[in-house]
Amino acid sequence: MTGSDFRFIVTEQLAAIGIDPGVILIEPEGRNTAPAILAAALHISQSDPEAIMLVAPSDHVVPDTEAFHAAIVKGLAAVEAGKLVTFGIKPTHAETAYGYLELATQPDVSGAAVDLKQFVEKPDAIRAAEMLAACTFMWNAGIFLFKAKDIVAAFAESAPQLTAPVTAAVDGAKIDLGFLRLDANAWAKAEDISIDYAVMERAPNLAVVPFDGGWSDLGGWDAVWRELGPDANGVVTSGDATAIECENSLLRSDSENLEIVGIGLKNVMAIAMNDAVLVADMSRAQDVKKAVEALKAKGSAQATMFPKDHRPWGWFESLVVGGRFQVKRIHVHPGAALSLQSHFHRSEHWIVVEGTARVTIDDDVRLVTENQSVYLPLGCVHRMENPGKMPMVLIEVQTGSYVGEDDIIRYEDVYSRGQGAKG
């Protein structure tokens, strides 16, 4: 399950580690975890209601893969008994940013599944310390294991209001390349609610598998700081970052050739990206969402757009944007091709800096090699392809009255995309 903006990143990353995911479901919009999990379960149930589903957020880090696999195996017996299994992370500190799971009994050395007593909301510092000492509380990782038919039945019992719209979204889904795009109109009618609130806090058949093999949800920059391993002064630097006489701080640059330097910082996180810089006290890591809300309120593109935009043929990033021009770096995978297209409001210059491009301009098709350029006048029908076995990189300079991504008409596309910025 993923959103449209991430679909090509997902396929690239899965291919890089040799996984064929089968069909990838695309959510038309984010509706939280409950509708997403139900959609996956309904889709799987169409072919195999007995199938066992492992539900795991994609942004979590589990360093010990073998230990995690062993925990999954321990949960299978409970799943076969009709249980909905969740994984509880053994706390390493009194964390206030996580919800907790209270176990009915203290887990034994076997690590077998234990019945769940109750969910506990994010605590204050005093309560978190008490739960850490009790040894019967685990962090709620939001990772689940169950049979498709069992979770569908749980939704029918605890959240019946979701069944009709999500079922309609799955039944009305359309195939789009290797993706299954859920019906947008039906999906919009599904309640925006988490799996915990919709089902798990009401279900009577929950079990917890304790896990202490290491885990982080990377839910804030403080979690990234812990995961990367602070030095003796509590400092983590990443990318082109330099710390001078700093303590308990994170300095990170995610932008090429952009050096970030901290001097005399204490309990500060400073993260530099191509389009924005965040500086905050480490204790305010969970408040980054306030920054996003503030940027949305002032209409900043940084709140909703990514500096690097992934497409099925590769990716591009905007280097400079002006009132009537834009400069991009475009990376095209070997053998890939952009759509045959035209623009109403801009002309383009392409300069190949790595590899060779096959360029179509109206009826003219030519090869453009490294250090060569070509001009595409406004309105021409054009396409670029990478005929080689190595990535092709070019610099695109756009000039015109409008340089937005939605100024595009597609005539042919090997990826079967429709019209619009991404198709």
pLDDT digit string, tens, across residues 169-212: 999 999 877 789 999 999 999 999 999 999 998 888 999 999 98
**Cβ burial, residue 165 (10 Å; 0-12/13-18/19+):** buried
Residue 47: which pLDDT band, with cuts at 50, 70 and 90? Answer: very high
pLDDT of residue 177: 73
Asked if 262 contacts 246 with a C-beta cutoff of 8 angstroms, the reply is yes
pLDDT at residue 331 is higher than 90: yes
Question: What is the domain partition of the chain in residue ranges?
Answer: 2-211, 221-298, 308-412
**Mean pLDDT calculated for residue range 356-385:** 95
pLDDT of residue 422: 67
Weakest mean pLDDT among 8-12, 197-201, 404-408, 414-418 = 414-418
At 66-113, the pLDDT tens digits run 999 999 999 999 999 999 999 998 888 888 888 888 888 887 777 788
pLDDT at residue 392 is higher than 70: yes
Amino acid letter, 90: K
What DSSP assignment string belongs to 277-292?
A: EEEEEGGGGGGHHHHH
Q: Which one, of 303, 279, 277, lies nearest residue 289 by Cα?
A: 303
Query: What is the topology classification, in CATH, of domain 308-412?
Result: Jelly Rolls (2.60.120)
Q: Rounded to an integer, what distance in angstroms lies between the CA atom of residue 405 and that of residue 330?
A: 14
Amino acid letter, 390: M
Residue with the bigger pLDDT between 106 and 44: it is 44
**Mean pLDDT calculated for residue range 263-274:** 93
> Between 3.90.550.10, 3.40.50.1000, 3.40.50.970, 3.30.2290.10, what CATH number should domain 2-211 receive?
3.90.550.10
Residue with the bigger pLDDT between 423 and 310: it is 310
**Mean pLDDT calculated for residue range 290-300:** 88
Reported pTM: 0.78
Q: Rounded to an integer, what distance in angstroms lies between the CA atom of residue 226 and that of residue 231?
A: 10
Do the domains at 2-211 and 308-412 have one common CATH topology?
A: no
**Cβ burial, residue 152 (10 Å; 0-12/13-18/19+):** buried
